[in-house]
Amino acid sequence: MRTRQFLLLAGLGCVLAFPVLAANTSALAQLERFSAEAGRAGQADAGRQFFLKKHGQPWACASCHGELPTGNGRHASTGKVLEPLAPAFNPQSLSDVARVDKWFRRNCKDVLGRECSAGEKADVLAWLIGLK
């Protein structure tokens, strides 16, 4: 009987904990995460410059998201419409840890030819969050 009660409580604990683990966060929480990892605050002006500039690859972030990512963008090669990246114009943008990590990894490789550093991510997020 004790084993059954333990398993029932353990299962209930997992079910109750799942929404917390799967819950979205905020763009500001993402900024805090990357700033902590970088050991410094994100710098919005550096983020703007990073976003607009090409870094030795054919594309810049702005190639798909637009120079001002407050409206829809368009993927440079597929033409797929991209929702606004700035959180003030798209509340879901930058609100899911797994998606943020996935897209930073992919897009940084396209833009830089490598993954972005935590500081570069913090800078870009600081700029994007500041767009109103």
The pLDDT assigned to 24 comes to 75
Q: How confident is the model at residue 1 (pLDDT cuts 50, 70, 90)?
A: low
Mean pLDDT for all residues in the chain: 87
- % the chain with pLDDT above 90: 80
Helix axes 118-130, 44-52, angle to 10 degrees: 100
Q: How far is CA 1 from CA 5, 6, 14, 95, in A?
A: 6, 9, 20, 43
pLDDT over 60 (residue 93): yes
Number of H helices, E strands in the chain: 6, 2
pLDDT over 70 (residue 25): yes
Burial (CB count within 10 angstroms: exposed 0-12, middle 13-18, buried 19+), residue 30: buried
Asked if 84 and 72 count as a contact pair (C-beta separation under 8 A), the reply is yes
